[in-house]
A and B are shown apart, each in its own frame.
Chain A
Amino acid sequence: MSHGDRTEIERRARELFDDSVERLDGETRSRLNRARQAALAEVEQARRSRWPAWLPVAAAASVAMLAVVLWRLPGGSPDPSARGDDVAPAPEVVELLGTDADLVSEDPEFYAWLSARGLPQANGSG
């Protein structure tokens, strides 16, 4: 925008703004100067102590790879099939415990009938 194209309000606003910049008090100027020096010093310090840009990426990749290796190692993480969620207990365990599950599998009709009648009362009336 050339000065000739300016309207009166633009010219006046610019003039007042420039004037206010020139009249900034000493304390503000000093603080701006200190802020600039602090900014430059911080950048300089960061530049000197800067780690290679690839370091965080390499570190993350290493951690991920280590996790995969540990997961795959024998004894690292239990095999899902060994958790027993959907696998029948070993026969010797069933024998030792004598679980109800084993009885049901032996005579399912009896237990269906018993279930339909309801459980016997504790006082023996049922």
Chain B
Amino acid sequence: MASSASLDFAAVYRLADAEPSMPEDTTLQATATLDRFLAGVERRAFRIAQMAVRDRDEALDIVQGAMIRLARNYGGRPSSEWTPLFYRILYNGIRDWQRHSSVRRRIFGIPSRDAGDIDGQRDDPLERVADGAPDPSRQVMASEAIEHLEAALAQLPARQQEAFALRCLEGLDVAGTAVAMGCSEGSVKTHYFRALHALRERLGEVW
């Protein structure tokens, strides 16, 4: 992200852990700016959350929670800082959900979802083809390929998943990814390198 290159990410990092602040002079214009930002990021954030929790409704709840927290706590910050802050909040929500889900599984003995089982049911790739799609066969292949990617990602350690999703899929730079993950840039590079290596081994044959 070219626009984030000049940010003081250390300051943003501190802000993400600091007490929330909300300026009193928030205006309608600021709300409109926030609306545009969220509209631009919500679909990608939803897909990242869905890949992590493998449940559409839960992913929607997590994204909405992240939107509320960003707007409430950091809406007054410069908009250039929002992207890494938003993804940091989003991944906090994902980790909370995963912790609670893990506890529920232990207590109630609910089996974890299969890697290729999205939203609790294995669906037919043909059903995901949008109406009026120009090339249905190409879309089926794309659906299968992304399922392979999601299944391979699900087998990685959580931090490697985060690094790959933020760096490769969302396109954050190393500094922005470090803010979003709450770790050093060196750790981001390590997690990302390991994720790439593992994915290359797992997907090399099917891609």
Contact = CB atoms under 8 A, between A and B. Distances in A.
Interface in A1-37: 1, 7, 9-10, 12-14, 16-17, 19-21, 23-25, 28-29, 31-33, 35-36
Would you call the interface of chain A mostly helix, strand, loop, or mixed? Answer: helix
A39 B167 contact: no
Interface string B25-67: 0100001001100110011101100000000100010011001
Nearest to B177: A1
B15 interface: no
Contacts, number: 96
A40 B146 contact: no
Contacts of A21: 43-44, 47
B196 to A, nearest CB: 7
A17 B142 contact: no
Interface size for chain B: under 10, 10 to 19, 20 to 34, or 35 or more residues? Answer: 35 or more
A102 interface: no
A43 B146 contact: no
A35 B200 contact: no
Contact of B142 (A19, A35, A40, A44): A19
A47 interface: yes
A42 B22 CA distance: 14
B35 to A, nearest CB: 6
A44 B28 CA distance: 9
Contacts of B26: 47
A46 B75 CA distance: 13
Nearest to A10: B168
Given A9-B203, A36-B38, A47-B22, A28 B68 contact: no
A40 B200 contact: no
B171 A40 contact: no
29 contacts: A7-B196, A9-B200, A9-B203, A12-B145, A13-B199, A17-B47, A20-B146, A21-B47, A23-B128, A23-B130, A25-B130, A29-B43, A31-B60, A32-B42, A32-B46, A33-B42, A35-B42, A35-B67, A36-B39, A39-B64, A39-B68, A39-B71, A40-B34, A40-B35, A40-B71, A43-B72, A43-B75, A47-B22, A47-B26
Sort A-B residue pairs by CB-CB distance and give the 8 closest, nearest first.
A35-B64, A39-B67, A43-B71, A39-B68, A17-B169, A16-B146, A32-B42, A36-B38
Given A32-B42, A43-B71, 10 more contacts: A9-B203, A13-B164, A13-B199, A25-B130, A39-B64, A40-B67, A43-B31, A43-B68, A44-B31, A50-B22
